[in-house]
Chains A and B, each alone.
Chain A
């Protein structure tokens, strides 16, 4: 019989592969760098430039990039670099909130549905499949159009509420394949409570998939929120990268050749998406060993 201490140690050891992931995979490091470096840079820039730089009419309109304004000013007289610095975090925040919401709901329902089977499974699956069939953008547009200005948190939660089916599917599939494993059987026979089995036996083994689902959800949420903002909806009253693109488009930046107005936010967004993509590649390799590079 193992002592409670050794037992705990074994459980924690199951989490360690996740930490090892950081040191082994270059794609993960690169992806994280793409995300974290801009964040750090943005924080420094916010400190240096101050909130006055993003007020309407703070500077002359449409200045080309120069020494005074490294990325020029936009059609409303705001410093573009400052807009980037202030707009980055809200853009990411929506993704994080939505990702957390979708992952939480998705994992919970996936665990429940995969383990319980029966009518619970049927209900959750049906709900998830129907939600998957409903086109997300039009629904979000309808919601955003009627709600008007929203907060970062509420937009994130709304997006999370439509995004959970993907996570549920993945988690459920994994639970289905794991639930007949011997160690689960033993746990069941030794009288462990069902919730105990779910949390302590299944969940640690699902962590790679939960992580993969989270990254996917964050990426999709940022995609959706930026898409909404380009359409002119989903504004927080704060500058975001999507809104910069929208105002650039409205202000005719494309036809007037004011490239510094929209290329920087577009470029930063590309960086974010590629970063998230690299992270999800790394996590996917971790979850699905067959995708790992074989020694050739």
Chain B
């Protein structure tokens, strides 16, 4: 991989984070009025405690320099983002936004990475199998419903699963990350509890996402299976399994990975809603709380963190891509 490619990808990463930060900066200020006074006013109207209101306003004025010209504000905002200083939470003053986010982040990362990875791997495999001529028709028919399921957004599945499995059948806990009274620790009992609570949220994501990846992979495999290099490989007399894995999947998986980078934003957004429905203490749950309590600094902080995480994940995938696709490195010679 060349330095040029690396710099290009890094450039994108920075551009995306900058664009999100700028949007987060601009939107509240487009609304008329002072953003902080506005926040406090909304909190008051909503009947929430504004005890620290004066201190809050004073702290923000000092930090944001709301009396400075817009340009100065903008640059000090960018600098704050750069140092990951996301300010104070308005509703839970004086807790800082970064504290809240760093508490919630591990839950979400665990849930999301696992669910997405599982769905991607299983979905791609199933999608490839659906196109492969050697798969029995029965299996293909059995797998089709998954693709229909992909149309259903995660949160709808979450509601249905939550109602059916948790409330009606009482098989798994309906909300929360852990049962009350159990603190997350590395004990067996604690881990089992966490897994039980994470199962339904994970399933909501996995069941819908599998169909999505199946469809994509199916499309890629159709093109690959009909291509000339597959014909040659078959003519060479290679075993079906070799054909499937080394020639079929390896070729088709590349655009799938590109699709993964494009879909990441959507996946994370969907996961946010799933967490809300299950009261899962991840970023999604925090986000919902922030919205309910009109905690604008927290809302903005989470947006930035989400943007950075997604952009970073895309960066990692983009950097992995040339390693998987030999054509790119050959061309460089």
Which A residues lie at the B interface, using CB under 8 A?
Answer: 126, 129-139, 141-143, 145-147, 219-220, 223, 226-227, 230-233, 245, 249, 254-255, 257, 259, 262-263, 266, 269-270, 273-274, 276-277, 288, 290-291
From A129, A131, A274, contact of B151 by CB (8 A):
A274
A255 touches B167 (CB 8 A): yes
B151 touches A276 (CB 8 A): yes
List B contacts of A263 (CB < 8 A): 163
The prevalent SS among residues of B at the interface is: helix
Q: How far is the CA of A269 from the CA of B157 in the complex (A)?
A: 11
B310 touches A133 (CB 8 A): yes
B219 touches A291 (CB 8 A): yes
27 CB-based A-B contacts, threshold 8 Å: A130-B16, A130-B19, A133-B310, A134-B20, A135-B307, A135-B310, A137-B268, A138-B269, A138-B303, A141-B303, A142-B300, A143-B27, A145-B294, A145-B296, A223-B153, A226-B153, A227-B273, A230-B155, A230-B276, A231-B287, A233-B291, A245-B159, A254-B162, A255-B174, A262-B159, A274-B151, A290-B226
B153 touches A138 (CB 8 A): no
From A130, A146, A220, A257, contact of B15 by CB (8 A):
A130
Min CB distance B25 to A, Å, is 10
Contact with A along B296-323 (1 / 0, CB 8 A): 1001101100110011001000000000
From B174, B272, B287, contact of A254 by CB (8 A):
B174
Which B residues lie at the A interface, using CB under 8 A?
Answer: 12, 15-16, 19-20, 23-24, 27-28, 30-31, 148, 150-153, 155-156, 159-160, 162-163, 167, 174, 219, 222-223, 226, 262, 265-266, 268-270, 272-273, 276-277, 287-288, 291-292, 294, 296, 299-300, 302-303, 306-307, 310-311, 314
Q: How far is the CA of A111 from the CA of B269 in the complex (A)?
A: 30
B155 touches A138 (CB 8 A): no
Q: How far is the CA of A269 from the CA of B158 in the complex (A)?
A: 13
List A contacts of B23 (CB < 8 A): 134, 139, 142
A136 touches B28 (CB 8 A): no
Min CB distance A270 to B, Å, is 5
From A142, A226, A254, contact of B163 by CB (8 A):
A254
Q: How far is the CA of A255 from the CA of B168 in the complex (A)?
A: 9
List B contacts of A257 (CB < 8 A): 167
A130 touches B12 (CB 8 A): yes
Given A130-B16, A274-B152, A290-B222, decide whether A142 and B303 contact each other with a Cβ distance below 8 A: yes
Q: How far is the CA of A132 from the CA of B286 in the complex (A)?
A: 24
A138 touches B307 (CB 8 A): yes
Given A133-B16, A134-B307, A288-B219, decide whether A142 and B162 contact each other with a Cβ distance below 8 A: no
List B contacts of A276 (CB < 8 A): 151
Chain A residue with the shortest CB-CB distance to B226: A290
Q: How far is the CA of A134 from the CA of B303 in the complex (A)?
A: 9
A132-B265, A134-B20, A138-B303 given; 5 more Cβ-contact pairs under 8 Å: A129-B12, A133-B311, A147-B31, A230-B273, A274-B151
